[in-house]
Chains A and B, each alone.
Chain A
Amino acid sequence: GAVVSQHPSWVICKSGTSVKIECRSLDFQATTMFWYRQFPKQSLMLMATSNEGSKATYEQGVEKDKFLINHASLTLSTLTVTSAHPEDSSFYICSARDPGALGVPTQYFGPGTRLTVL
């Protein structure tokens, strides 16, 4: 299957600082990427849909000024958590939508980034 990478895999930062997380589709072009967060023992919560060349679409309750998303190319989307606070500590997972050779799209997931804010 297709490969999606995320960087970094784990980051610990101080409260008030900003953290950037990268999501790359390695062997396909993704016009659409998704950013999720997952708290322990819970399901995934969609934060935003990232569209190449346009503004991201944020889910209700997600602050767009706090979680900045940039999808500058067909293989890269970035999520910047600005002025991070301990409550932002979570597991952040990106996925990239592969349109599929036979028209059956599949979302492939990155390995996730564990963010710990002290």
Chain B
Amino acid sequence: ELKVEQNPLFLSMQEGKNYTIYCNYSTTSDRLYWYRQDPGKSLESLFVLLSNGAVKQEGRLMASLDTKARLSTLHITAAVHDLSATYFCAGHMDSNYQLIWGAGTKLIIKP
């Protein structure tokens, strides 16, 4: 059974700083997703990581996947206030198309 754990669950940081959110998963997942959710809103797809060593970047966010370590990371570079949101990672079970969700990381970036 696939389980997904995110760390940390809550993060408050100053603008301009760097930080990494970690996503560990328990068994083989054929792909790993990162989503962003703003308060009261639905989810926005950020990245889909398909293979070992995959790295994707969009602005100040960079996601990577290490399938051997069963670890994905979301790295924030020089954080800005607009990145404040809750970030979810999710593993994927191809057998039934379900996403298995992490608990989410609430990120607050202070000016």
Could you tell me which A residues sit within 8 Å of B by CB distance? Answer: 1, 6, 32, 34, 41-44, 46, 49, 57, 93, 95, 97, 104-112, 114
Nearest B residue to A59 via CB reads B98
Say how far A42's CB is from chain B's closest CB, in angstroms: 8
Complex Cα spacing A97 to B93, Å: 13
Give the chain B neighbours of A57 by CB distance below 8 A. 96
> Which are the 9 A-B pairs with shortest beta-carbon distances?
A109-B43, A112-B42, A111-B42, A109-B42, A43-B101, A43-B103, A43-B104, A32-B97, A44-B101
Give the chain A neighbours of B43 by CB distance below 8 A. 44, 93, 95, 109
- Size class of the contact patch on chain B: 20 to 34
Nearest B residue to A107 via CB reads B99
Give the chain A neighbours of B42 by CB distance below 8 A. 6, 93, 109-112
Nearest A residue to B44 via CB reads A109
**23 A/B residue pairs, CB under 8 Å, sorted by A:** A1-B45, A32-B97, A43-B88, A43-B101, A43-B103, A44-B43, A46-B98, A46-B99, A49-B97, A49-B98, A104-B31, A105-B97, A106-B33, A106-B48, A107-B33, A108-B45, A109-B35, A109-B42, A109-B43, A109-B44, A109-B45, A111-B41, A111-B42
> Is B101 touching A106 in the complex (CB atoms < 8 A)?
no
Complex Cα spacing A31 to B37, Å: 25
Say how far A34's CB is from chain B's closest CB, in angstroms: 7
> Is A43 touching B102 in the complex (CB atoms < 8 A)?
yes
Encode contact with A along B70-111: 1 for CB under 8 Å, 0 otherwise: 000000000000000000100000001111011110100000
